[in-house]
Amino acid sequence: CTPSYSNCNDISKSTAVMASDNKDELVQRAKLAEQAERYDDMASAMKKVTELGSELSNEERNLLSVAYKNVVGARRSSWRVISSIEQKTEGSEKKQQMAKEYREKVEKELRDICQDVLVGGVSHLRRLWLRVGLCSASPC
C-alpha cells in the first residue's frame, strides 16, 4: 500500500491506477529523454510501455518509432565511421585490430537492438491477436 492511495483495501483498483500512472510516467520519461536527445533512455522507457500489454496510442507508437530510429541511426553512423577508419588504417595491425573489434561491438549492439524490436513486436502482436480472437493461446 502506498501513501498516495486513501483506500488500500481495493487492491485491483489500486493496481489499475498504478499501472496507468506507470504508463503515463514512462511516456513522460520518454518525452523528456527525447528533448534531451537521450534516445537509448527513450527507447528503454517506450519498451517498458509496450511490455505493459495495452494497445499503444498514435503518440506512443510515434515515440517508440522515434526512439528506435535514433538508436539505430546513431549505431549505423558509428558503424560507417569505424568501418571507414578500419579500411584506411594501413601499416598498423594493432590499430586495424582495434578498429575491427570496435566495429564488431557496434554490430552486436545493432543486432541486439533489432532483436529487441522484433521480439517486442511479436509479443505485442501475439497479445493483440489473442485479444481479438485471431489465434488460440498455445500455438499463437
pLDDT of residue 9: 41
Give the pLDDT confidence of 60-119 residue by residue, as tens digits: 999 999 999 999 999 999 999 999 999 998 888 899 999 999 999 999 999 999 999 998
Report whether 33 contacts 63 (CB < 8 A).
Answer: no
Q: Cα separations (Å) of 5 from 2, 14, 116, 139?
A: 6, 7, 35, 40
Q: How many domains does the chain have?
A: 1
User: Is 53 inside any structural domain?
Assistant: yes
Taking only the tens place, the pLDDT of each residue in 19-31 is: 555 999 999 999 9
The answer to whether residue 104 is domain-embedded is yes
C-alpha cell at 133: 480472437
Q: Are 53 and 127 in contact (CB under 8 A)?
A: yes
Q: Residue 129: what pLDDT?
A: 72
Query: Which CATH number do you get for residue 20?
Result: 1.20.190.20
- Whether 126 maps to a domain, the answer reads no
pTM: 0.74
Compare 138 and 122 and report the one with higher pLDDT: 122
Give the Cα separation of 94 and 87 in Å (integer). Answer: 13
Question: Is residue 106 in a domain?
Answer: yes
